[in-house]
Structure 1
Amino acid sequence: MNLVICLLFSFFLRHVIARGGQRSASFYAGFRNDSYAAFARHLFEENQSQPSIDIARGYMTNSELEKAVKEFGQRCSHISRIYSIGTSVNGVPLWVIEISDKPSEEEPEPAFKFVGNVHGDEPVGRELLILLANWICDNYMSDPLVKLIVENVHLHILPSMNPDGFSLRRRGNANGIDLNRDFPDQFFPWNDDEDARQPETKAIMSWLREIHFTASASLHGGALVANYPWDGTQDKRRNYYACPDDGTFRFLASVYSQSHYNMSSSKEFKAGITNGASWYPIYGGMQDWNYIYGGCFELTLEISDNKWPNAKELPTIWEYNKMSMLNLVASLVKTGVHGRVFSSDSGRPSPGSITIKGINYTVKAGRAFADYHRLLVPVERYEVMAAVPGYKSKATSIWLGEEAMTVDFILDPEVTSEGTLLRSICDCNCGGKSRHLLVDYFWGIHFEVYSVLIVVLVFLCILLRRRIKINLLKHRQSPKRIGMDGGWLLVISGCWNRCYAEFVFPLEGQQVQPERIGVKSLDCHRQCWELPWMLSYHVKGFRG
């Protein structure tokens, strides 16, 4: 009987580790580093009991959180909008705050999202995200960093992904499912059926289909570290498993860690960052799914050693994390390669893909503006390539310094062996917005060139008309006489000292076919560009 109780108790404990790992004691026995083992034991012991009602005192309830979100929307409506991406199992709306100088408008700017309270018993994130939104609103006009974010990034804040779990004071949602194990996984396809997923998970997935996020971060509790992909390994063993953008993720994680009060000085994690699989593998996580299926660079941020600290500690935790959160969002516009892709034949934006030589990962350009935002490690040389179906790919080599770089691409259409153009599939789906972009492209980028060409052409036309009139006057006063009988008008042209009669037209209504007659005895102008056009009249009875 005692053995059964112990087994049940150990099963319960496996569901309350910091990142939600379903871990047994045997997992921690495999740690080679004593500091990691001590840290794992600390987490294991810390979560032997569920948070009590007293611990929740000072935290916003779900109804209070909803009220805070709506009040923020009213107070800061000039730079925000409030919307919901769905509901929880129990029907609680999943409210989102968007912050931008043009909220709800689509712009060629990167988008970032914060997601809090993924696990119901880790509520610090939902508190900090409300504080972040209000800080941005209060300091928009006075703080340069905040102003940079509001005017150049669309920031989306989901304070609570798991409001039911928060109400129940437990990790999973109302169905007892760990939401950070409910996403499609690259190694194990057991949860690839979208209909079988939890409503909170499906809401996140639909959200990413609607908005093209460049980067993201989810906030957790139970440790102090910035975690990056991959979270899992193919063989389920704990080891460092790098994703294609390992360097970029290390850089982003370091941005957060180095800006934090003490995360970078962690004794458990070097520089306060860690590869997820190196810490301990998990599967069905939101972080890896964002990167693989959503084209979004997501970090998992463990922002407090205690999963559910006393509410009196929240102001201090906020101060420790404030600059980290702001700098992470600002990194989207302060670093990386950004630009747009156009087609040379139509001038329209052409949604395509951006790849970096040596990195097996593709970033898709936005649909409306064909804008891309490629996060990369600064102070490196890269070869950037743009590709659009039906167009010739182009590549350029760049040196990315400490600051962001803009690289636009104009792609030429491919031509088949029959000489026809291969059109992109995107060309047929364009509305009024695309037509405006076409005008903006031609009259914005090439307006000066077109203006100069028009002025030159008008000037040449005026000179041509004046020269023709002068020649007509000269030859009417002293016409050339051609030795032919009858009333004829000969149009004479000359070029390079060789003259010939182009056409012979009858006068007085005579109907004859034009003839081309070589004439060598006329005194013609010396060069073609001297406008060598002469009219010579022949009157009946005279011979030239």
Structure 2
Amino acid sequence: MEILFSSSFYTLFLAFFFFSLASTAIARGGEQASSFSGSTDHDHDFLRRRFFDQTKSPPRVDLARGYMTNFELEKAVKQFGRRCSNISRIYSIGKSVKGIPLWVMEISDKPGQQEAEPAFKATLIIRDVHLHILPTMNPDGFSLRRRGNANNIDLNRDFPDQFFPMNNDLNSRQPETKAIMNWLKERHFTASASLHGGALVANYPWDGSDDKRRQYYACPDDKTFQYMASIYSHSHYNMSLSKEFLGGITNGAFWYPIYGGMQDWNYIHAGCFELTLEISDNKWPMENEIPILWEYNRMSMLNLVASIVKTGVHGRILSSKGGQPLPASIAIKGINSTIEAGGLFGDYHRILAPGESYEVMVSMPGYKSKTTRILLEEEAMSVDFILDPVENPQLRKQVGSACDCSCDDKTNFELVKYFGVTYLEISLVVAFILAFLCFLLKRKMSYNLPKHR
């Protein structure tokens, strides 16, 4: 199972894991962020008391003072790869406008390999999950201390939109956006989370509506997304206590609509269930606030991964003829959204909210579809499907037409009706009789040969 944590704000937590400091560059919004008084005191309790102080601090000379540079981040990522080479792989999915590589860390017991592994235990994430971490999606924007990239384009408005014909020109998209889109088309991600700053809430699709009004606009898997967002929020130190967002979660269009966002594109085009996690009211937290952010979100991240793997239905889809894996489509009756099984193993994992009954339908061109009903409880359910090939009537007709016979269908029917046999059976009988007659004739000729002499 492939799970992705992306966006530049995650750099904060990743860098803290490296025992250093990091960067942030991109967020959902920009209008609702508020600053709070910082402190040079490193006392944990003091920082906790001040963490959500809404009083504005004086303007800062450098918002990213104490953060890693892009060069330092790249160095730290590669050092981690060398230090933990047995459980990690470092690779790039592309480059920014200014040519900075977009590095990804894959953490797994078999990095770089595709596996069918839906099982999960809290202490076995490395063994049972392929976790991909993109520390920063917008390195150029971080260097320039702004939201847009080097071309001053907001990357979280640069994806194709489902409601309006925007960003449909491939040539006009930013290289960072193209890299993400190609990446998700190549990898079979089950779920992802994009980490932002500017609020404290777990946001889920849809991010916009067809009439651009601010309203609750539910996607087909609305109940499942609410479940995932609540897992994160209630595992957080105080996200679920929000006075602005009930339970610390929100539908994107209900909060404020955006168009061209990555969250909706992932869900629609890649079958990847993505949450947008706003993890700090301040877009540019001070360096001494980073450890608190990590502590507040650490269990939320782990529990989110656990919930994704431990719920839903998973298994493999194979052909009854030869047993080869099938990249079939998996649909749930009543939910207008499908996912595809992996082509290598035929493995699938369909995230579903627990506590309900679901009708699972599997289909594949050239094969007979199959349907089964499951009662999903708190743990994930394993269901394998064996699909039977569909007989090709056109092929059978072509084979029949290759036989040069003058008998029509009615004659065939009469033969079967009166003799109870088919053409094949008649042919075999005739061939046997002819062979027997030839044998007798040959024997008679050899018997009479001495008399002629």
TM bracket, shorter-chain basis: 0.7 to 0.9
Alignment match, 1:20: 29
Superposed, 1:105-124 pairs within 5 Å as 105-109=113-117
Q: Is the aligned partner of 1:252 residue 2:260?
A: no
Alignment length (residue pairs): 364
**What residue identity is the alignment partner of 1:310?**
M
Given that 2:333 and 2:358 are in contact with CA atoms closer than 8 Å, whether structure 1 keeps it comes out as yes
- Cα 1:304–1:420 change in 2 (3 A) is farther
Matched, 1:219 2:195: yes
Query: CA 1:69 to 1:417, structure 2 compared with 1: closer, same or farther past 3 Å?
Result: same
1:369 aligns with 2:349: no
Go from structure 1 to structure 2 and tell me whether the alpha carbon gap of 1:358 and 1:58 turns closer, same or farther (over 3 Å shift): same
Instruction: Look up the match of 1:80.
Output: 88
Contact 2:228 2:308 in 1 (8 A): no
Q: 1:88 to 1:17 in 2, by over 3 A?
A: closer
CA distance in 2, matches of 1:181, 1:109: 34
CA distance in 2, matches of 1:243, 1:256: 19
Hey, what does 2:360 align to over in structure 1?
Answer: 384
> Who is 1:52 aligned against?
61
Q: Is the 2:118–2:314 Cα contact (8 Å) retained in structure 1?
A: no
| Aligned residue runs from structure 1 range 132-211, under 5 A | 145=122, 147-211=123-187
What is the distance in 1 between the residues matched to 2:219 and 2:151? Answer: 32
CA contact (8 A) 1:20 1:180 kept: no
User: Percent same amino acid at aligned positions?
Assistant: 71
Whose Rg is larger? 1
Does the CA contact (< 8 Å) of 1:20 and 1:178 recur in 2? no
Name 2:100's counterpart in structure 1: 92
2:295 aligned counterpart, secondary structure: helix
In 2, Cα distance between the equivalents of 1:301 and 1:190? 24
Q: Using the alignment, how far apart are the partners of 2:110 and 2:26 within structure 1?
A: 40
- Confirm whether residue 356 of structure 1 aligns to residue 332 of structure 2: yes
SS in 2 for 1:253: helix
Aligned in 2, Cα 1:63/1:18: closer, same or farther, shift over 3 Å? closer
Relative to 1, partners in 2 of residues 1:386 and 1:17: Cα closer, same or farther, differing over 3 Å? closer
Q: Please tell me whether the aligned partners of residues 17 and 43 of structure 1 are also in contact (alpha carbons under 8 angstroms).
A: no
Aligned to 1:66: 74
Structure 2: segments with no counterpart, 5+ residues: 1-24, 33-51, 398-435, 446-453
Question: Which residue identity lines up with residue 323 of structure 1 in the other structure?
Answer: M
Q: For residue 279 of structure 2, give the secondary structure of its aligned residue in structure 1.
A: strand
Moved >3 Å (runs of 4+): 42-49, 416-421
Equivalent residue number for residue 290 of structure 2: 314
Counterpart contact for 2:26–2:147, Cα < 8 Å: no
1:297 aligns with 2:273: yes
Maintained 8 Å contact 1:383/1:397:
yes
Q: What amino acid is the match of 1:286?
A: M
Matched, 1:511 2:443: yes
Shift of 1:43: 13
In the alignment, which of 223, 231, 236 is matched to residue 212 of structure 2?
236
How far apart, in 1, do the equivalents of 2:121 and 2:289 lie? 28
Contact 2:26 2:196 in 1 (8 A): no
CA distance in 2, matches of 1:233, 1:47: 36
- Going from structure 1 to structure 2, the CA distance change for 1:512 and 1:342 (only over 3 Å counts) comes to farther
- Whole-angstrom CA distance in 1 between matches of 2:96 and 2:57: 25
- Whole-angstrom distance in 1 between the partners of 2:244 and 2:105: 34
| Larger RCO (CA under 8 A, 6+ residues apart) | 2
What one-letter code is carried by the residue in structure 2 that aligns with 1:57?
R
CA distance in 2, matches of 1:245, 1:43: 36
2:177 and 2:223 map into 1 onto residues whose CA distance is 28
SS in 2 for 1:254: helix
CA shift for structure 1 position 58 = 2.1
Note closer, same or farther for the CA distance 1:324–1:22 as it changes in structure 2 (3 Å cut). closer
Assess, with a 3 A threshold, how the Cα gap between structure 1 residues 328 and 47 changes in structure 2: closer, same or farther: farther
- 2:365 aligned counterpart, secondary structure: coil
The offset of 1:152, in angstroms, is: 1.4
The equivalent residue for 1:347 is: 323
Secondary structure of the 2:86 match is helix
- Quote how far apart the aligned CAs of 1:107 are: 1.0
Pair 220,174 (structure 1): closer, same or farther in 2 beyond 3 Å: same
> 1:79 deviation in Å?
0.5
Residue 336 (structure 1) aligned with residue 336 (structure 2) = no
Amino acid across the alignment from 1:216 = S
Partner of 1:286: 262
Distance 1:297 1:209 in 2: 14
In the alignment, structure 1 segments of 5+ residues that lack a partner are 1-15, 24-41, 112-142, 422-502, 514-544
Contact 2:29 2:198 in 1 (8 A): no
Q: Residue 103 of structure 1 aligns with which residue?
A: 111
Contact 1:110 1:214 in 2 (8 A): no
Distance 1:374 1:43, change over 3 A: farther
Change (3 A) 1:95 1:47: farther
Listed one character per residue, the Cα deviations across residues 312-348 of structure 1 (whole Å, up to 9, x for unaligned) are 0111110110010111112232111001111111210
Indicate how the Cα distance of structure 1 residues 47 and 392 shifts in structure 2: closer, same or farther if over 3 A, else same: farther
CA RMSD of aligned residues (A): 2.9
On the 8 A contact 1:148/1:330 being kept in 2, the answer is: no
TM-superposed deviation, 1:17: 11
Tell me how far apart the structure 1 counterparts of residues 376 and 227 of structure 2 sit (CA, whole Å): 14
Q: Tell me which of 400, 410, 415 is aligned to 2:391.
A: 415
Q: List per-residue Cα deviations over 1:230-278 (Å, max 9, x = no partner).
A: 0001110000000000000001101111111111111110010000000
Distance 2:151 2:102 in 1: 17
Query: What does residue 393 of structure 1 align with?
Result: 369
How far residue 21 of structure 1 moved from its aligned partner, in angstroms, is: 6.0
Distance in 1 (CA, whole Å) between partners of 2:393 and 2:225 is 44
Q: CA deviation at 1:416?
A: 3.4
CA distance in 2, matches of 1:242, 1:174: 34
Is the contact made by 2:26 and 2:197 (CA closer than 8 Å) also made in structure 1? no
Instruction: Mark the CA change 1:261 to 1:410 in structure 2 (over 3 Å): closer, same or farther.
Output: same
Closer/same/farther in 2, CA of residues 153 and 223 from structure 1, 3 Å limit: same
Secondary structure of 2:290 counterpart: helix
